[in-house]
Amino acid sequence: MGWSIYRSQGLPNFVRYFDIGIGKKLLKDILPLLLMGNLIQLLGLGKKVYLNPETSQWKLCQNLGIKVYDINRDIDLNIDSEELKNNKKIVKEYFSPENLKKTIKNYIRKRLIWLT
């Protein structure tokens, strides 16, 4: 497995091979959008994710009630299926097309009010 699988199958299929995802600060600094997309996909697939608690991704997960793990602590390979199931549910609801439409509408309304 390696880069060729990533290129040929795309990320959604690629991450299915893993049960735990680890995000490093370096990736956050260089490719924040890629990391956020990867993070959402990993959580949506019910994977255990480790992040640096100083990142915006960590803060977003905490605000949404998504359980992620501190990269600075010992990595625990035990999987809590209820926790991961709850993460999947939150991701599905928060990142749904319906919620995206609602967020865009609210954003536009606020900007229109501000302009008038």
pLDDT in tens, 3-48: 333 344 455 555 566 665 655 554 444 444 456 778 888 899 899 9
Alpha carbons 100 and 79: distance in angstroms, whole number: 30
Alpha carbons 15 and 17: distance in angstroms, whole number: 5
pLDDT of residue 115: 59
Tokens at residue 72, please? 């600075």
Average the pLDDT over 82-107 and give the result.
89
pLDDT of residue 112: 73
The pTM for the full model equals: 0.64
Which sequence spans correspond to the domains of the chain?
A: 3-115
